[in-house]
Amino acid sequence: MKTPTFISSFSLKLPLLAALCIAFQGATLTGCSTHSALMVEQVEEQTSHQQKIQKVMDALKITESRVAVAKSNNVDIYSPNQMAAAKEALAEARRYTERFQADPENVNRSISLFFGDTMGDKALSLIARANEALDQAEDNKQQADAIFADANENFIWLKKFQAPVNFRYEYEDLEYTQRYLIEYVADGNLEAARQGLPRLLKEQHALEIAAAQRFYLHSLSQKIQRQEGGVVDRYASLSYSAAIGALNRANNVIAANTRDEAAIEQAKADAEFSFAVANAVAADMQNLTKMDRQELERWLILLQAKLFEIGRHIGASDVRDHKLMQQLQLLTDASATHNDNAQQVEQIAEASNPPDQPAIDASAPLTEEAAISQRMNQLEQTLGDQIKALSEQLRSMKSANKNAQATPAYEIPDTAPAPKRKALFGN
């Protein structure tokens, strides 16, 4: 008879506990693995969101800068529709970026509930559309620059001559005409723009002449016009007419070339001087008309005294025994002779002091006889030049004296003997 064996309950529980431990450990490890994978997936998703957001923001920033540069280059003037389309697309893209900047997950969310592009893709698509519009706008600008190069330069000169201020409506009409032609370029109709260009250039040139004439000569024109019928016109009509003629010549110079500033300034200075002469003549004429016979005689005597003083400075003899116009002519001739004599004196001085002779080569020294001969030749040449210059001076002086003696003397009554007039240059 077998004796029954008793198994402890504790020994039965050990395998169960081990199995439970193994099961718990497996469950725990499985849970940890699932959680780690989820964390990795979340990190990757967040990184993807940030990268796409950054991509959109970079593209938006670059395109907005491009729009600003295009506006500063007046691209919107030549391509208003394309620039407007680019700005509209960028504004819509900016609204999407604001949404996924507030919630980064929006960058990969669909713009509709069930289908469609994500917000990030939509923003990039809008930015690409803006760049396409900018490309077309800049291309239109380049073509317009080539077509309207002369017209644009004309507008620069018109502004310099203050046409927008002094000829406001005419200037605005020209701007409107150019904008009308620019619309042809924006629409791709370049031939129509070229056909309308000659008329624009012609009208610009006409306005540029008027604006330049006002710019340079308006003040002088006003001064001359105010003297019409005034003191200058009444007392110096010939000089006043000469001033008007000088003003007309200045206007003609401007009409010939509005951009030749040197010629215009010279013509303007001539007109101003001519008007100043007219004023001076008018002042003298006004004073003369107020003089009686004795005052007029005193004035003539004073004038003769001034002419005599001038004659003394140039070495002329006293010519006050001639009529006033004869005195002026004699003094003019004497001044010319005086200038010629001064030049001859300078020539004689230069001849008496010849430039240094070139140095003699030491390797081939001259003999004493050759050196003396060379020096004699130099002296003879110098002396010959001096004699020639003196002979020319004497001939000039004799000719001047002969001309002065041939001038008719001042006519006086036969009851008194005619005074013997001295030569122009007394000895």
Q: Are 105 and 46 in contact (CB under 8 A)?
A: no
**pLDDT score recorded for residue 51:** 74
More confident residue, 119 or 317: 317
**Torsion angle defined by CA atoms of residues 409, 415, 420 and 421, in that order, rounded to the nearest 10 degrees:** -30
The residue ranking higher by pLDDT, 392 or 245, is 245
Three-state SS string over 332-353 comes to HHHHHHHHHHHHHHHHHHHHHC
Higher local confidence (pLDDT), 277 or 33: 277
Q: Is the CB of residue 80 less than 8 Å from the CB of residue 186?
A: yes
**Number of alpha carbons in the 13 Å side-chain half-sphere of residue 394:** 6
In the predicted structure, residue 419 carries a pLDDT above the cut 80 = no
Tell me what the mean pLDDT of segment 164-188 comes to.
92
Give the C-alpha separation, 76 to 141, whole Å: 9
CA gap 220, 268 in Å, rounded: 9
For residues 222 and 196, is the Cβ–Cβ distance under 8 A?
no
Q: Give the tens place of pLDDT for each residue, 149-163.
A: 999 999 999 999 999
pLDDT at 228: 85
Q: What secondary structure does DSSP assign to 218-241, as a single string?
A: HHHHHHHHHTTTSHHHHH-HHHHH
Which range scores top for mean pLDDT: 204-208, 280-284, 343-347? 204-208
DSSP E strand stretches across 221-344 = none
pLDDT at res. 424: 30
380 vs 241, higher pLDDT = 241
If one compares 163 and 72, the residue with the highest pLDDT of the two is 163
Q: Are 121 and 93 in contact (CB under 8 A)?
A: no
> CA–CA separation, 153 vs 287, rounded Å?
53
Predicted TM-score (pTM) of this structure: 0.59
SS (H, E, C) 35-69: HHHHHHHHHHHHHHHHHHHHHHHHHHHHHHHHHHH
Among 163-172, 290-299, 395-404, the minimum mean pLDDT is found in 395-404
Q: Is the pLDDT of residue 2 over 50?
A: no
What is the average pLDDT value for the chain, to the nearest integer?
A: 76
For the segment 310-317, the average pLDDT, to the nearest whole number, is 81
Taking Cα atoms as reference points, which of 334, 337, 331 lies closest to residue 394? 337
Most confident option among 49-53, 100-104, 223-227: 223-227
> Does residue 198 register a pLDDT over 50?
yes
Check residue 420 and give its pLDDT.
Answer: 38
Mean pLDDT of 14-18: 57
Distance CA 157, CA 258 (A): 9
Mean pLDDT confidence for 368-394? 56
* More confident call, 167 vs 53: 167
Rounded mean pLDDT, 310-339: 81
Alpha-helical runs (H) found in 103-189: 119-147, 149-160, 163-166, 168-186
* C-beta separation of 140 from 83 below 8 A: no
Mean pLDDT comparison of 88-92, 271-275, 288-292, highest-scoring range: 271-275
Has residue 406 got a pLDDT over 50? no
Q: Are 85 and 133 in contact (CB under 8 A)?
A: yes
Which of 74, 239, 52 is CA-nearest to residue 145?
74
Measured CA to CA, the distance from residue 282 to residue 303 in angstroms comes to 18
Of all residues in the chain, what percent carry a pLDDT higher than 70? 64
More confident residue, 25 or 43: 25
As a whole number, mean pLDDT of residues 187-212 equals 94
Smallest CA-to-CA distance from 188 within 73, 84, 78 is with: 78
Candidates 331, 236, 308; CA nearest to 276 is 236
Per-range mean pLDDT, top range of 15-24, 147-156, 289-298, 373-382? 147-156
Residue 412 has pLDDT above 50, yes or no: no
Whether the per-residue pLDDT at 124 is higher than 70: the answer is: yes
User: What digits encode the pLDDT tens for the residues 243-286?
Assistant: 999 999 999 999 999 999 999 999 999 999 999 999 999 999 99
Let me know: does 97 contact 56? Beta carbons within 8 Å.
Answer: yes
Q: Region 165-178: what's the mean pLDDT?
A: 96
pLDDT of 337 > 60? The answer is: yes
